[in-house]
Amino acid sequence: MPEKRPSVLILGAGAVGLSFAAVLSAHSEVSVVCREKYAKAIYEKGLELSGIWGEHLIREIICYTSPDMPAGKNYDYTIITAKGTDTENICNEYVKVLRNTTAVSFQNGIGNEDIIQRYAPLVIGGTVSTNFGFISDRHLIINSQSDPVKAGIYPDSHCSSKEADILTSFITMFSKCGIEVIESKDIRSEIWSKSLLNVAVNPLAAILKAPIKKLGDDDLKETISGLINETFLVAEAEGIDLPWESPDSYASYLRNYQLNAFGEVYPSMYYDIINAKRTEIDLLNGYIAKTGRKYGIETPYNTCITNLIHCFEKSRRILF
Ligand SMILES: NC(=O)C1=CN([C@@H]2O[C@H](COP(=O)(O)OP(=O)(O)OC[C@H]3O[C@@H](n4cnc5c(N)ncnc54)[C@H](O)[C@@H]3O)[C@@H](O)[C@H]2O)C=CC1
Ligand SMILES: CC(C)(CO)C(=O)C(=O)O
Q: Helix H segments across the chain?
A: 15-24, 36-45, 87-93, 95-99, 112-116, 161-176, 187-208, 221-237, 247-253, 259-262, 268-274, 285-295, 300-319
Per-residue confidence (pLDDT) for residue 3, from 0 to 100? 78
Asked if 205 and 151 sit in the same domain, the reply is: no
Q: Is the CB of 88 under 6 A from ligand 1?
A: no
Residue with the smallest CA separation from ligand 1 atom 22 is 12
Asked if 114 and 221 sit in the same domain, the reply is: no
> Full-prediction pTM beyond 0.95?
yes
Q: Which atom of ligand 2 is nearest to the CA of 197?
A: 3
Q: d(Cα 209, Cα 213) in Å, to the nearest integer?
A: 12
Asked if 16 and 146 sit in the same domain, the reply is: yes
Residue 1 lies in a domain: no
Omega before 155 cis (within 30°)?
yes
Domain hosting residue 276, numbered range: 188-319
Mutate which of 86, 113, 202 for ligand 1 pocket (most atoms within 8 A of beta carbon):
86
Asked if 164 and 196 sit in the same domain, the reply is: no
- The sheet carrying 7-11 orders its strands as 62-64, 29-33, 7-11, 77-80, 102-105, 122-127, 149-153, 181-183
Residue with the smallest CA separation from ligand 2 atom 9 is 267
Low-confidence ranges of the chain (pLDDT < 50): 318, 320
Question: Cβ of 307: how many Cβ atoms within 10 Å?
Answer: 14
Q: Is the CB of 126 under 6 A from ligand 1?
A: no
- The sheet carrying 130-136 orders its strands as 56-58, 47-51, 139-145, 130-136
Asked if 22 and 77 sit in the same domain, the reply is: yes
Helices 285-295 and 187-208 sit at what angle, rounded to 10 degrees?
Answer: 120
Residue 214 burial (C-beta neighbours within 10 Å; 0-12, 13-18, 19+): middle
Average pLDDT, the chain: 96
First-to-last CA distance in the chain? Answer: 56
Q: Report the separation in Å between the CA atom of 160 and the middle of ligand 1, taken as the mean of its atom positions.
A: 31
Helices 161-176 and 15-24 sit at what angle, rounded to 10 degrees?
Answer: 80
Residue 2 lies in a domain: no
> What CATH number corresponds to the domain at position 181?
3.40.50.720
Residue with the smallest CA separation from ligand 2 atom 1 is 129
**What is this model's ipTM?**
0.99
Q: In the chain, how many domains are there? A: 2
Q: d(Cα 305, Cα 246) in Å, to the nearest integer?
A: 22
70-129: pLDDT as tens digits: 888 999 999 999 999 999 999 999 999 999 999 999 999 999 999 999 999 999 999 999
Q: d(Cα 253, Cα 148) in Å, to the nearest integer?
A: 16
Q: Beta partners for 7?
A: 29
Q: d(Cα 63, Cα 273) in Å, to the nearest integer?
A: 27
> What CATH number corresponds to the domain at position 277?
1.10.1040.10
Asked if 62 and 151 sit in the same domain, the reply is: yes
Asked if 45 and 127 sit in the same domain, the reply is: yes
Question: Cβ of 23: how many Cβ atoms within 10 Å?
Answer: 20
CA 166 to chain centre: 21
